[in-house]
Amino acid sequence: MASLLPPITKISTKGILSSAAISSSVQAIPRGGGGTTSVDLSRLSLEFSAMSSYAVVASLLLGSGLYLFAITPLTIPDPGKGPPQDTRLSKWATALFAVMVSVNIAMSLHTVLTFNVMNLYANTALGKGMDDAYIAFWDAPFIRNLRGSAFRAFLVAIRSFKVSFLLSVFLKTNGKHKWVATALAAWLMIWSTFQMEGMIQVAGQTIFKAAKASASM
């Protein structure tokens, strides 16, 4: 049995190892599954947590999109009950709402399923000590492209939900309140979009660009 154990390095008893040093030593021991590659589990847990956060936000967008679809009237008003231009505008708004809320639901669902299932497979490999299998899975070109598509779907889900919410406000209000509420919602959505896009650009330039450069080295 002793021959099956990894060689043990003698450690001086004069000093006390910190918990971080012990963790690093344990992570450097060859894993199961026939692999010899070691991974930093503490950093991976942070990455998986961030990926799960995308899925959580996408789940909120999915639920909100389904709720908007349920409460927003999709019937075209009677042409005899209002000016013809209002009827035509309502038809276009109803059709556009149906398209936008469908895009929101589809993209949110894609984001939730992709990130959660990918997280599940990665944790399964690491939990079984198959570090080489995890790296082969995580760095596979298809999986890398899938992560990119899920992130792009996440952004599309946010934008389509904002448009869906704006159209829902327009379709659910009547009279002069319709235009006031729609204008206010539009201004808030535009302001929020500029703030979000600015944050995404900064993150892309400072975080993801550096991460991509380090991964290619």
Query: Which residues form the domain of 33?
Result: 13-172
Q: Can you tell me the mean pLDDT for 176-196?
A: 91
Domain count, the chain: 1
- Residues with Cβ < 8 Å from 173, sequence gap 6 or more? 181, 182
Q: What is the pTM of this model?
A: 0.73
Look at residues 65, 55, 73 and name the one whose alpha carbon lies nearest to residue 105.
65
**Residue 201 forms part of a structural domain:** no
**Residue 196 forms part of a structural domain:** no
State the residue for tokens 């079984």. 128
Q: Is the pLDDT of residue 32 over 70?
A: no
Amino acid residing at 164: S
Query: Whole-number mean pLDDT of the chain?
Result: 80
- Residues with Cβ < 8 Å from 118, sequence gap 6 or more? 51, 143, 146, 147, 150
**Residue 155 forms part of a structural domain:** yes
Looking at per-residue pLDDT, the higher value among 67 and 21 belongs to 67
Q: Is the pLDDT of residue 45 over 60?
A: yes
**Residue 189 forms part of a structural domain:** no
**Residue 66 forms part of a structural domain:** yes
Summarised one tens digit per residue, pLDDT across range 49-106 is 888 999 999 999 999 999 999 999 887 666 555 555 567 888 899 999 999 999 999 9
For residue 13, what pLDDT band results from cuts at 50, 70 and 90? very low
Look at residues 191, 171, 140 and name the one whose alpha carbon lies nearest to residue 68.
171
Cα within 13 Å of Cα(110), Cβ side: 19
**Residue 69 forms part of a structural domain:** yes
**Residue 199 forms part of a structural domain:** no
Q: Can you tell me the mean pLDDT for 4-31?
A: 40
**Residue 194 forms part of a structural domain:** no
DSSP state at residue 8: P
Q: Where are the beta strands (DSSP E) in 29-95?
A: none
